[in-house]
Each structure stands twice: as structure tokens, then as C-alpha cells.
Amino acid sequence: MKQFLFSMFATATFMGSTTAQITINRADFAVSGTQLDSAVWKRLTKTGTVIPTMGNNQVWDYSALKDSTSTISADYFAPATGFGALPAAFSDATLAANTALSFQAFVYPVRNFYKLDNTGYQFLGYATAGAGFSIASFTFGAKDSLIFPPQTMRFSTPQTWYSFPTTNNKVWKSTYKDTSNFKLTVAAFGINQTAGMRIATVTNVDTIAGWGTLKMRNPSGGTALSYAVLLQREKVTQVDSFFLGGAPAAALLLDAFKLTQGNKTTYETAHKFLGIGFKEPFMTLYTKIGDTVTSVVRGVIPGLGLTASNRELNEYAIDTKVFPNPTTEAITFEFQKTNNANWHIMIYNAEGQIVSLHRVDGAQGAVNQRVELSSALANGTYFYNLLDETSLIRANGKFILAH
């Protein structure tokens, strides 16, 4: 799970292989905690990628990695926005996000709650309106079902994502219990709407394992982009226990779901490159046991594209018409798309917060794309980037919103 960006002009470009160790405090971590924030990630190709070397004054060169077409985004709100009354369990939350919870093949919507202050950035827990699923593919009973009722889960202790000040050699550990209630119907076992519980004991260990320079590909071409960073290494382990009708669930029933009582799992370990003035890492490498890289993502910087540069774009730029300007509720983009891939229109405010990320599908040729703007947006000047599938900014500009 995850959020970030911005204060993009606070990030300097460093040349050469020597830089200084940085320290990240609350003031350097660009999440407002009280208003709309956006998180956007871009997947990268990972062929031949290895985990970064730990240590000081390193040069981590990932400039050969190119963007894939997959973009992941999330929005973060003041806690009660769009979710009704704030659950009492999260009265101290400063940030919330709509996301999803997964159990085996079942995924259902939840709202996560976070707390951000001068000591750190913490994940407090979540609330869900509930969901129900057929489990016939597991149990072969046509009417068998798994129901997750509405519930609020405040962790026994919060999960600390970042501990301020974040600096070299710092280590922090978070251990918490995540309890999920459910109702299970399995005709073959004589179970009908029987109350159950899954208790997951989760331990996160985070270490700032080095500092140095991160090099990333510049989609504009030319010299790779370089950033002063800290390297954060995160390891997650989880122990699951399952109860049904107040007693430990039978092994035979768990086997049907490919579950084991008391099973200990080491999740993907994450290696994150952190910089000053951003909400999320520049780049994160996820690995499994044995340090095999499973995926690589990097973050969006609105004024610069997806960690890209606005410089030397003349040969790639395309003419774009934006109207009406000023606008009261929507903005229309007209341009010629040069290929059949998915592009994106990114709209952000003067503070660098993304307020809309709109995917542009369709074949090569003329595009007339209307983007609705939220009525909650304040009047003022907004900026846009038109990004192709490689994250290259093909056009940018601004418009005025006047409701």
C-alpha cells in the first residue's frame, strides 16, 4: 500500500558519483495530511534487475530500465471525505484512502486510515462495508459462500511506514494484529453461516541501509537523471491463524482453501529509494525470498512527468488545444495521438498535487477527450501534462477553473 510526490522543485540533480547523506524529516515529506493527495506509480521493466547494494556513498544505476504501460494510482483524503461519518476507532486519523483487501482470490473494497505527524507516518487500520463471494470453485458446493460483514479494524499497534527523522542506519519495527471476521457456508461440512475469524500477526522491520545517488532513465533522452537518496529495506513476515465457531478451524477445511493453521509467510521484501520533498520513493524494487526481483515501480512527479525532464522535448511535442479556458466544470483536450498505446492526461494544482489522472485509450489519430473536474476543486489555475506510454511529456500547459 502506498502515496506520494511533489515539492518537485526541491529536488536537485546531482552529477558524478559523490553526494551527501540526506535526512528526511516531516517537513521534507510532502504529504499534506489534511487535503487531497494523490499517489501514482509507473511499472518498469525488470529484466536483469538486481537488488541494490547496501552501504554508503553508493551509485545505484537503474537508468537502463524503461517504463511499461501499467500505471497504478490512488487518492488520499481527509479521513471522513466521501465515506460518511468517521469511525470512532480512527478519531486520530489525519489521512484516508479507498483501497482493497485481498484474501486468497477474493478482493473487496476497504478504506485505510493513516496518521501523519512529526514522529512518523503510520497505518492505523481500515474499515469495510462488507462483501460476499461464492466459493464453489474451492468447495464444489453450488451454494457455498464466504461473507465478510461490515467491520472496523484498528490494529493493536500501528504499522510505521516512515519514522522521522529518517536517516542512515535507522531501524524501526512494527508488530500488529489484523483480525478479519467472516461467515462461512460449506454444505459438505454441515456449516451454514458459521462465524469465523482470521488473525494475522504481522511484523515489519525497516532499515535505512545506505545512502548515495540513484540514476534513472530520462525519457527525454540524454544524460540520466540523478537524485540524492536513502535506501530503505523493508521485510514483512506474517503468521495466520483461523477460527470457526470459536475453535481452531479444521485442517481438512483449510486444505480446501490451500491454507495452513499457523502458517508463517515472508512477504516480498521492498527496497525503496527515498528523496527529500516527495511523498513516496523515487523507485521501489519488490523481491521474494532469495532476493529475486518480482516487480519495479517508480513515482510520479507532476511538474516533471514520471520522474522525467521537460527539457529538450521539441522533437516530441505535439500541438494540443484545450477548451473552454476558463472552464466551469470540464476541460476538453484535442490532439493527434501518434500510436495505439494508452496515454494519460495528468492535471495538477499549483502545489503539485494531482487532481485528475485520466487514461486516453484508442487508436492512433485524432483525439477529442473531455475530462470532468471535481466540484470540490477550488477555483484557480491548474496545469496539465499529456503523457505517452513511455512517460514522455508530449504537451503541457495550464487552464483556469472558475465554478
Residues 351-396: tens digit of each pLDDT? 767 788 788 888 899 999 999 998 888 999 999 988 877 667 788 8
Predicted TM-score (pTM) of the model is 0.74
Would you call 10 helix, strand, or coil by DSSP? helix
- Distance, CA of 16 to CA of 213 (rounded, Å): 9
- Distance, CA of 10 to CA of 275 (rounded, Å): 10
- Distance, CA of 155 to CA of 104 (rounded, Å): 21
Phi-psi region of 168 (alpha: psi -120 to 50; beta: other; left: phi over 0): beta
Please enumerate in sequence order all residues whose Cβ is within 8 A of that of 344, keeping only pairs 6 or more positions apart, or say none: 71, 357, 358, 359, 360, 386, 387
What does the block give as the cell for 339?
A: 500510436
- Cα 118 from chain centroid? 22
User: What residues of the chain score a pLDDT lower than 50?
Assistant: 1-18, 304-312
pLDDT of residue 78: 74
Neighbours of 200 (CB within 10 A): 16
Element (H, E) at 150: none
Query: Which one, of 112, 144, 107, 108, lies nearest residue 127 by Cα?
Result: 112
Would you call 350 helix, strand, or coil by DSSP? coil
Query: Which one, of 170, 259, 263, 261, lies nearest residue 210 by Cα?
Result: 170
- Distance, CA of 33 to CA of 146 (rounded, Å): 36
- Please list the residues that pair with 283 across neighbouring strands: 273, 298
pLDDT of residue 391: 66
DSSP tag of 63:
T
